[in-house]
Amino acid sequence: MAPSRPHVVIVGAGFGGLAAAKRLAGKRVDVTLVDRRNHHLFQPLLYQVATAALSPADIAAPIRSIFAKAANVRVLLDEVTGIDASKRRVLLSRSSLLAYDWLILATGARHSYFGREGWEREAPGLKSIEDAIAIRRRVLLAMEHAETETDPDRRNTLLTFIVVGGGPTGVEMAGAIAELARRSVSSDFRSITPHCSRVILVEGGPQILPSFPPGLSAKAEQSLRELGVEIRTNAPVREIADGEVAFGGERVAASSIVWAAGVEASPAAQWLSAEHDRLGRIFVERDLRVPHQDHIFAIGDTANVPGIDGRALPGIAPVAKQQGQHAADQILGRCSGPFTYRSFGNLATIGRKRAVIDWGHHQQSGFLAWLIWSFAHIWFLIGFRSRVVVGLSWLWNYLTYQRSARLITGTPQPHIRIK
């Protein structure tokens, strides 16, 4: 009788989990990939769905279709509620217990409001397609309402957009909203001009893009200002309530507030009673194993892994993908030892024809950086169709300034409260 094959359970179909499953596809192991959603989402372009540049299907792919030809990979739509490490079992909310020989935790991150969870209704974050569609609805409805609003103060509030957080997501979101409001949409309205809208980027620290060198941060700030974005640094948010944001010495009313200021890891550390950092990321061994759990790996936003400078590696797609591959290779016996991240640069775009890239030994900005950013994101999309559709959409947007995904869908929420 042939011995049974090892069973690998992967929790999370983000970049890390997907990379691990692809590495294990077709090998002499059985894989179960568990996710509470049926699709893999290309999160770096999620802000473009929120600002009507792309449609949700352009940046997402059904997980089952990705592994349709991998006979040893099973996809399970369910939500993990806990882990019984002593019996090597994963606890699920809808299915029975799931036993494993190896477990890879790639559960990702969620919004963090630093203990002020009541802010979420006023300032939604951007982590899912549902988040993006809700933000898109909020922004587009504000413009529609402003078209017929006769009171100047109420109209100014409708056309004020605040993005909280000056990291890559916040910078990209602020630039995209500015382009949407000032160029792509204003020509379609009769009473909204390119200078009617106001976009404010709020950052609690001394500079935007704090993970980039100061020179690139300054260039990004200049590019945002050229787009009409107002930047507030050293301005931590004190309060978000009733359609107003209090930051620094200001209090500004806005119809649309987007939260891009912080994230925290999933409850994976709690499931294992593992030591973790303030963001909830598990302190793992150098080979990505959870301490005292030789058959469990934690990767991506779930893990705190130090880089060569001693600081935790950033929660970006390339890190998660390389960690997923490393964990899978250890299970297959292909490698052993510590994980080493190979950086290909840090990128951020600031709207049309503007981007910054930190290569480490070299910095790039401007139009060439934007082209590199565009090709890199198209290349890493899942599926040939998505690459073609996104590439053509960007070309159309570039030539015409039009945003083809300006659809207000779903049930409008009564969030626009104008004083």
Catalytic residues: 172
Q: Which amino acid is at 380?
A: F
Calculate the CA 268 to chain-centre distance. Answer: 19
Phi, psi angles (nearest 5°) of residue 154: -65, -35
Closest CA to 67 of 47, 90, 38: 38
Return the structure tokens found at 156: 């100014």
Distance between CA atoms of 169 and 350, rounded to whole angstroms?
A: 10
Identify whether the C-beta of residue 8 lies closer than 8 Å to the C-beta of residue 34.
Answer: no
| Sequence-ordered list of residues with C-beta below 8 angstroms from that of 160, at least 6 positions apart, any chain | 197, 198, 199, 200, 252, 253, 254, 255, 256
With the C-alpha atoms ordered 288, 289, 290, 295, is the resulting torsion angle positive or negative?
Answer: positive
Closest CA to 140 of 323, 413, 387: 413
Helices (H), 112-267: 129-148, 152-158, 168-179, 214-226
Identify whether the C-beta of residue 106 lies closer than 8 Å to the C-beta of residue 22.
Answer: no
Distance between CA atoms of 3 and 29, rounded to whole angstroms?
A: 11
Beta bridge partners of 119: none
- HSE-up of 203 (CA within 13 Å, CB side)? 21
Buried b (16+ CB within 10 A) or exposed e, 229-258: bbbbbebebeebeebbbebeeeebbbbbbb
Identify whether the C-beta of residue 24 lies closer than 8 Å to the C-beta of residue 328.
Answer: yes
